Amino acid sequence: MKKRWLIALLVICLLAAFPVGGALAVDGQVGTPIQKTLFTSITAEEDGPLVLISAASQSSSGVTVTVEQPDEKTLNVYYEGTPTFAGELTFTISYTDNGVEHSLNVPIKVVELPELPAVESYDPSAGTVTVKQTDAPTVFTVRASANGTLTYEWILDSSSIGEGSSCTVDPSHMEVGRHDLYCVIRNQLGEYVSGDAEVHWVLTVEEKETEPLEIKGAPSSAQIYGTGTVKFTVTASGRGLTYQWYQGTDSSRSALKDGTYQALTYAGCDTATLKISCDTAPNSFTNRYVCVVTDENGQKAETGAYVLAVTEDASMSRITKIEVVTGPDKTQYTTGESLDTTGMKISATSPKGTEILTEGFVCDPVRLQKEGTQVINVSYGGKTTSFTVEVKKADHEHRWSPWEADEAVGIVSRRCEITDCTGREIYTIEEFIDKYPEEAKALGLTEEPEPQEEPAEEPTDETEQEDPEKKDDKQKKRSVSPALIIIPIVAALLLAAAIVVYIKLYRNDGGGPGTGSGKKKRATKLNDMRF
C-alpha cells in the first residue's frame, strides 16, 4: 500500500515540474503574422504564490513569447509575431510554485510558405483570340514554375472546364460574342496552398460561315447477274451531313434499313455509300434508289435515281455486244426533263444468241440538264452503246403552234402559244425536211414521185361526141406518122445499094486504073444506071 502512494506522489511531482506537458507545438508560416495567442495558463497547485523568474523575449526568429500574471496564483503564456525563417523554435518560461522552481517549454514549428507560381509561357500568346463557330477546336497551354506542386484549373465564363497544363476549347458549341477564359495556377507545400496566379484570354467567337447543302455527284447505275455486290455512293457538300437511302418510285417509296429484303442484302443505309448484295436472284427486276441528304441546319437535298437491274440468268453476264436497234420515240427535250425511253429497243448479243430488249437496260444521264446535243449512254450486261437527243433551254413549259413554212425566205418555224413565252423553233427547209420528214410532207415541202404511164383508156362517150372534123384530123395524124418514119429508112437502103453496084462495076470493067478504055466503060455503065 505504501508503495502505491509513493508512485502516485512521484507522478504529482513530475506534473508539478511540467504542468502542461511541454510537448505542445504551435505551427506558423514564414512571413505570415501570428496574432497574440494564449499558449497555456499555469495555476498554483496549493495556496502558495506563483512567481515568474524569467520569460522569453524578442527573438531573431520574429516570434515573441510573453507571460502575464492576472493574480498571484495564475500565469498566462502568450506568443505572437511574424516568423522570418522556417524551423522549430523553443522558448522557456521559469517560475516558482510555493517556492519550488519550475520551467515550461513553448515549442513553435515554422514551415516554409509555397511560392506564388511564376508563369513562364502560354499559347496562344495574344491576350485576345478571335475564332469562328466553324473553326476547329483551339488548344490553350500554360507553363509555370514554383517550389512546390503546381495545379492548373481552366475556367470559361465562371465555369470550370478542365485541369492540367493544357485545355481544348471547341467554338462550335459557343455562342457568338465575348467569352473570358482563365487558367488559374496554384502552388502547394504540404497542406499550405499559395495564392492564385492566372493567365487571361478574351475569346471572341464570330458567327459561323454556312456552307450550302449541295449534291455534287450524278447518280449511277449497276447490274447484278444472278449473284453479285454493287455500291452506290453520294457526293455532297455541306456541314453536319446525314444520309438516308430510300427504295421505290417518287410517289411510293420506303426508307431502307440494314438487312435482307426480297433477296437483296443492304448495308450503309444511313451513310453516303449504300452496299447491295444478292446471293441468288429468284427473278429479273429493276429497283430505283434515292438518297436524302440533310445538313446541320435541317436543310434537305435529294439525289437522282440510282438504278439497279437484277437479272436471274447469270449467263447474261457474258454479253459481248449491245446496239440501239430503235431509238426512243421522244428525242426533243427541254433542260430539266427526264429521259423517256418509250419505244426504245436494243439488241444484246451473248453466247445464247441475240436478244431484242425493251427494258432492263440503263441509260445515263436520266435527267437532262445540258443544253444542246446530249449523248445518252446505254448500259446492259457490262457493255455500253449510245444515242443522242436534243435538249433546249427550258424558259417555259412550251405549247407549240402548227409548223409554218415561208418558202420565200427558205425557213420553217413554229412559236410558243403560252402567254409571255417568246420561245420559237426555226429551221431551214433542208434541215426541216431532214428532221421532220412527215411534217415536211404534210406542208408540201417534198416532191411527190412522178406517176407511171397507164394504158390508154377506152374512149368515153365524150370522146365519141367530139367534132367529126377534129376526129378525122386525129385519124390522119395517126395514119401519116408511120410513113414519115419508113420513107427515110427506104431511101437510105436504096442509096446503100447504089453504092455497092457502083463499086462492083468499077472493079470488074477489065481495065486497070489509068487506062482509057476502063474509064469509057465505067462512064457507059454509070450512064445506064437509073435511080
pLDDT at 19 over 70: no
Task: Identify the residue with better confidence: 113 or 52.
Answer: 52
What's the average model confidence in pLDDT over 291-302?
90
pLDDT at 386 over 60: yes
Alpha-carbon 468 to chain mean position: 97
Pairing of strands 306-311, 285-294: antiparallel
Q: How confident is the model at residue 153 (pLDDT cuts 50, 70, 90)?
A: very high
- CATH for 319-392 (2.40.70.10, 2.60.40.3630, 2.40.128.690, 3.20.20.70): 2.60.40.3630
Which pLDDT belongs to residue 8?
A: 40
Report the alpha-carbon distance of residue 177 to residue 155 in Å, rounded. Answer: 17
**Under CATH, domain 118-206 is a member of which superfamily?**
Immunoglobulins (2.60.40.10)
Q: How confident is the model at residue 234 (pLDDT cuts 50, 70, 90)?
A: very high
Model pTM? 0.31
Which pLDDT belongs to residue 328?
A: 93
**Coil/strand/helix, residue 357:** strand
pLDDT tens-digit profile of 452-469? 555 554 544 444 444 555
Task: Identify the residue with better confidence: 80 or 482.
Answer: 80
Q: How confident is the model at residue 515 (pLDDT cuts 50, 70, 90)?
A: very low
- Which residue carries 441509260 as its cell? 363
- The three cell numbers of residue 9 are 506522489
Question: What fold, for 219-314?
Answer: Immunoglobulin-like (2.60.40)
Using CA of residue 482, residue 484, residue 485, residue 490, what is the dihedral sign?
A: positive
Task: Identify the residue with better confidence: 458 or 395.
Answer: 395
Assigned CATH for 2-111: 2.60.40.10
What's the average model confidence in pLDDT over 484-495?
73
What average pLDDT does the chain have? 78
> Among residues 36, 38, 45, 57, which one has the least CA distance to residue 102?
45
pLDDT tens-digit profile of 106-132? 888 887 778 889 999 999 987 889 988
Which pLDDT belongs to residue 106?
A: 84
What's the average model confidence in pLDDT over 67-86?
86
pLDDT at 369 over 60: yes
Which pLDDT belongs to residue 409?
A: 67
Contact 274/268 with Cβ under 8 angstroms?
Answer: yes
Which of 147-161, 334-348, 484-498 has the highest average model confidence (pLDDT)? 147-161
- The three cell numbers of residue 463 are 370522146
